[in-house]
Amino acid sequence: MAKDKKLVEAITSMDEDFAQWYTDVVKKAELCDYSSVKGCMVIKPDGYALWENIQHELDRRFKEVGVRNVSMPMFIPESLLQKEKDHVEGFAPEVAWVTHGGLEELQERLCVRPTSETLFCDFYARDIQSYRDLPKVYNQWCSVVRWEKTTRPFLRSREFLWQEGHTAHATAEEAEERTIQMLNVYADFCEDFLAIPVVRGQKTDKEKFAGAESTYTIEALMHDGKALQSGTSHNFGDGFAKAFGIQYSDKDNQLKYVHQTSWGLSTRIIGAIIMVHGDNEGLVLPPKLAPVQVVIVPIRQQAEGVLEKARELEKTLSNFRVKVDDSDKSPGWKFSESEMRGIPVRIEIGPKDLEAGQAVLVRRDTHEKMTVALTEIEAKIGELLETIHHDMYERAKAHRDAHTYDAHNFAELKELADHKPGFIRAMWCGCQECEEKLKEEAGVTSRCMPFKQEKIADTCVYCGKPAVKMVYWGKAY
């Protein structure tokens, strides 16, 4: 077995070099690859299968709360991008420009959408007339382009896949409600489906989206103690509506501006899945997400009845996503490979098991082995997948909680920032200057003002003036 194991190339240990470990996992688990287009990636079948499952589950949750899908153009005329001042300032420096169509130069440049607020606004301005047309709760699944200088697979690339929801409402209250509702859809999805615990909160003004009145976020903590913003939801108030002239005639016959929101979750979340759950053997997939939940590895598969039994077992387990690995590799190689790919449960079955009417189950997350009678295996797998989900969530939460620290003054914060990777909870006076100083002097940014506030101290961790909010600070991807 030792010899077999060596055949599967080892990956860098995560404690030795976390960044290299990440790159190794992405490559060896065959999730994605670089392309000839600088900064753009090829998502390979095993990586795309994750995105398909994410899409499928999230889309189901969207439809439960009244979201309808549409498709908008990928191009934005320059004049359209410029209509909302803060928005264009935020995005214009990082967009790709189309200047020629066919053999001719365009009269007006088009940018490839970095996000589609302007396109939805332009559409809504034509499509919304009366209060009867509201609310509009639309979403699209697409890719967007931002001309990043440095890129990393899933975490930051020039083109990435995402969904972007864009809504229009009659009142400010309804828009705020929708903004929070969608943030909660993301948070529940991360926790219930991906086994990733998240902190729900609001971004500070400095960190909010270009053009938004308020931005809400879910923040997850990676294994190395760095944070990853995993989904955001923005309330635009009537700012875009005024810039684009999106008005409706209300029941009282008055023309009123709509109130808008947008919200997005991207393939970045795959980076979070890798960095929250992965270990030194590779990927560890949460069972509800895993494209293959159970791999059956026949031991001595040439021996009489072994492969037949493996296939029989595959049929017995057809309520799960199950696969028999009948390739001509050795069992040891198959073990390592299924571990690298993060398959939640492995079943080993050989001649001795056949005789005893049993099989060996191995958990990917804990490597725990158990022998189970074949007659009980279906029920056992069902239980086990639920247990694994539960344990993965609890482990990630325990890790996060163990790496969440309180700082009562700047010295404490600086000490934590320098030596204890994780979230730092500290009070803040609300002024942008302190936020900038904390970044400059301690290298941390505000991740969010959590909905669940706690009063750690009375004064701002930096300036000592009266505090208004408890903030999660940290280093982030």
Q: How far apart are CA 438 and CA 442, in angstroms?
A: 5
Tokens of 459: 């004064």
How far does CA 182 lie from the centroid of its chain?
A: 14
C-beta closer to its own copies: residue 143 or 404: 143
CB count in 10 Å sphere of residue 139: 22
Q: Which of residues 74 and 457 has its CB atom nearest to its own copies in the complex? A: 74
- Please state the closest distance from residue 104 (CB atom) to its own copies, in A: 8
Q: Which is nearer to its own copies, 47 or 350 (CB)?
A: 47
Q: Name the minimum Å distance from CB 149 to its own copies.
A: 8
- Which of 158, 403 has the CB closer to its own copies? 158
CB 270 within 8 A of CB 50: yes
Closer to its own copies at the Cβ: 123 or 189? 123
Enter the tokens of residue 284.
Answer: 């560890």
3-state SS, residue 448 = strand
Compare residues 144 and 297 and give the one whose CB is closer to its own copies: 144
Please state the separation of Cα 370 from the chain's center in Å: 33
Q: What do you get for the CA distance between the two ends of the chain, in Å?
A: 38
Shortest Cβ 48–its own copies spacing (Å): 5
Q: Which is nearer to its own copies, 75 or 131 (CB)?
A: 75
Contacts of 283 (CB under 8 A, 6+ apart): 25, 29, 31, 274, 277, 340, 341, 342
* Shortest Å, Cβ 370 to its own copies: 32
Q: How far is the CB of 71 from its own copies (least distance, A)?
A: 4
Instruction: Kindly state the smallest distance separating residue 450's Cβ from its own copies, in Å.
Output: 34
Residue with tokens 């000592």: 464
- List alpha helices for 403-462, DSSP H: 410-419, 432-442
Rg (CA), the chain: 25
For its own copies, the closer of residues 42 and 411 by Cβ is 42
What minimum distance in Å lies between the beta carbon of 97 and its own copies? Answer: 4
Question: What is the smallest separation between the CB atom of 143 and its own copies, expressed in angstroms?
Answer: 6
Nearest approach, Cβ of residue 72 and its own copies (Å): 6
Binding footprint of its own copies on the chain (CB under 8 A): 33, 35-37, 40-45, 48-49, 51-52, 68-77, 80, 93-103, 110, 112, 119, 122-123, 126-127, 138, 142-143, 145, 147, 158-159, 161
Q: How far is the CB of 34 from its own copies (least distance, A)?
A: 9
Nearest to 154 by CA among 68, 37, 34: 34
Strand partners, 76: 111
Cα 69 to its chain centre, rounded Å, is 20
Measured between alpha carbons, how far is 300 from 451 in angstroms, rounded to an integer? 56
- Nearer to its own copies by C-beta: 154 or 423? 154
Nearer to its own copies, 10 or 37 (CB): 37
What is residue 317's DSSP assignment? T
Reduced to 3 states (helix: H, G, I; strand: E, B; else coil), residue 181 is: helix
Q: Other CB atoms closer than 10 Å to residue 25's CB: what's the count? A: 26
> Under 8 Å CB-to-CB from 61, ≥6 apart: which residues?
185, 188, 189
